[in-house]
Chains A and B, each alone.
Chain A
């Protein structure tokens, strides 16, 4: 399952499970192939369409940030297979604890595009009800959500449920204490949690070699958790690996750790300048392993993607982009007094006093046209 000699940078792909080669050929993998036997041509086309759609979300959001419509955006370019393959292995009852970069996951889980953008615009703390779609809000504290996923899964054990939880994390997070504590707790309580680590090679400017001197998935067995390394740019392999972990969790097998070896083709966020720390050679090398191009080649080689099919995929992506743009640029600003909302579930004398004072303060400003500021008290 694990090649201890593999390069943590994974430029050497030894020991990494794969079902579709970068040039679009199907590969047989003894361990993983059985998990995707039911994935027919239509299903592969669906995965392809998902990836094209979330790449379009990424480019549209990046453009909106450049146009001043979003405060920040964390690109997911290059990681589409990891996001789509893992999400599509889950049932809707399974609870997802994402990082800030799983915006493709959020879209596919059912979050509205405007909702997703609202947090990146700075308009809202969340864009969806976590309980409504079994998706936590994007976690910005690195690794913190792995404990939440573990605790959620402990709850599933206490309730005797066969749902699972999944924690998304990156290679940088694997240096955080919370991630290690998560694996200790998950193993101790045999919690049905999946640690889905996207090793995208970069934690802002720090290469994965700074976080790990051996394959990251190799850490899991030390905690008594099986680890699997999978080609994170291969949507079918990611789907299969996640199904493997889901099957283990549902059947009482406890936690699993997946290292999806992928690459962050874009910047860390729109505020980052990766030309300061990495060269074009690496980008070219990974560009040749593009997750979407390989599925497209596979589909075309099988005669499954004609001009009409491609047009339909493009049409969906364009519609998604249009909805995203419209939802973002027409988004209203939050009411000033909403800063006081939801800090507590019940009254709080100190905050209530501050709210009252600020309300009166705002009410003192009457615009020349006589209108009142939204949210002011009188």
Chain B
């Protein structure tokens, strides 16, 4: 086991994947000589060469579009989109090409792209650097979407994503980049949890709290705080946003009868909406209260001095827990 930060774990996952498969190449802005603006690709150009770690011109649509052509040729491109808010110029290539080519060609052309996206807020950045665009891609058939919350998952799931023959959007919680954790670099990938599997990260009996990516540590903090008041929260880390793995959530809600979903992305048509609908369909008779969403507001991402009001934090999560429990100290009716 090694103690690694999230960035180091991703770096190790890239390195391992490149060692295992010569067709794995990295593409993106500033990923080579600089090692990426977050240093995720630090040292990889030096070790693998500029033919495998490619600094591209500044054009996101072209990064993805040329990766499509490289995939036609048999490569497995791993593309870095420098910041969440920079992905939109590539949206057409992702949605109209990457997601559809396997079906368009009756399965004869595969698009094993991995698109890495640092996402989410909480780092005091200017506009376009703190967004949570995952919902757009979850809504798009043909893509798989995952988001990691800890170094071990980052290492393992990135390798799984790169090996996957479907295109994968890999959302990295940038405010957790420096979080450290134990990583088993030699773990047998075939014995790891499936890339599409969600996981209970803290067991509980009163409320099921579902989240992913940057808010997993916050949700765990909330569970600890609630325990002080005698409330037992079960926290589920989705890990896979598309497809959603309802199994652990269903199992949990059948016990707790109460569901709270929390994410940074805005509320309308977000993952919370989908999960609440999916669980209501599957577990209606088990629900003791209407499910609750604790999310970013339906606003463009605010200036960083205001982001603490936009982002769900421990207190807002607990407020949601109070609401789903019908506790009188619930502060909001949202």
Residues of A within 8 A of B (CB): 95, 97, 124-126, 129-132, 136-137, 141, 144, 146-156, 158-159, 165, 177-178, 181-182, 184-185, 188, 341-346, 348-351
A181 pairs with B243, CB closer than 8 A: no
Q: How far is the CB of A73 from chain B (nearest CB, A)?
A: 19
Which B56-102 residues sit within 8 Å CB-CB of chain A? Answer: 56-57, 59, 61-62, 64-75, 89, 92-93, 96-97, 102
A125: which B residues are within 8 A, CB to CB? Answer: 103-106
Binds A, one of B107-115, B123-131, B285-293: B107-115
Would A182 and B107 be within 8 Å (CB), given that A130-B72, A152-B73 are in contact? Answer: no
Which residue of chain B lies nearest to A339 when distances are taken between CB atoms in the complex?
B103
Interface residue? B305 (CB, 8 A)? no
Pull 8 A–B residue pairs with CB atoms less than 8 Å apart, ordered by A.
Answer: A125-B103, A125-B104, A131-B108, A148-B65, A148-B72, A155-B69, A342-B107, A346-B164
B108 CB contact (under 8 Å) in A130, A146, A182: A130
A129 pairs with B105, CB closer than 8 A: yes
Interface residue? B327 (CB, 8 A)? no
A144 pairs with B96, CB closer than 8 A: yes
A343 pairs with B102, CB closer than 8 A: yes
Would A178 and B62 be within 8 Å (CB), given that A126-B108, A152-B70 are in contact? Answer: yes
A345 pairs with B66, CB closer than 8 A: no
A165: which B residues are within 8 A, CB to CB? Answer: 69
Q: How far is the CB of B162 from chain A (nearest CB, A)?
A: 14
B244: which A residues are within 8 A, CB to CB? Answer: 349-350
B106 pairs with A342, CB closer than 8 A: yes
Which residue of chain A lies nearest to B142 when distances are taken between CB atoms in the complex?
A343
Residues of B within 8 A of A (CB): 25, 51, 56-57, 59, 61-62, 64-75, 89, 92-93, 96-97, 102-110, 141-142, 144, 164-166, 196, 242-246
A344 CB contact (under 8 Å) in B93, B105, B142: B142
Q: How far is the CB of B247 from chain A (nearest CB, A)?
A: 8
B103: which A residues are within 8 A, CB to CB? Answer: 125, 341-343
A185 to B68, CA, bound (A): 14
A153 to B72, CA, bound (A): 10
B57 pairs with A349, CB closer than 8 A: no
A346: which B residues are within 8 A, CB to CB? Answer: 164-166
A141 CB contact (under 8 Å) in B71, B96, B166, B243: B96
A144 to B109, CA, bound (A): 17
B106 CB contact (under 8 Å) in A126, A149, A159, A344: A126
A345 pairs with B107, CB closer than 8 A: yes
B97 CB contact (under 8 Å) in A95, A126, A141: A141
Which residue of chain B lies nearest to A193 when distances are taken between CB atoms in the complex?
B69
A184 pairs with B166, CB closer than 8 A: no
A182 to B74, CA, bound (A): 20
A181 to B56, CA, bound (A): 11
A188 to B27, CA, bound (A): 14
B107: which A residues are within 8 A, CB to CB? Answer: 341-342, 345
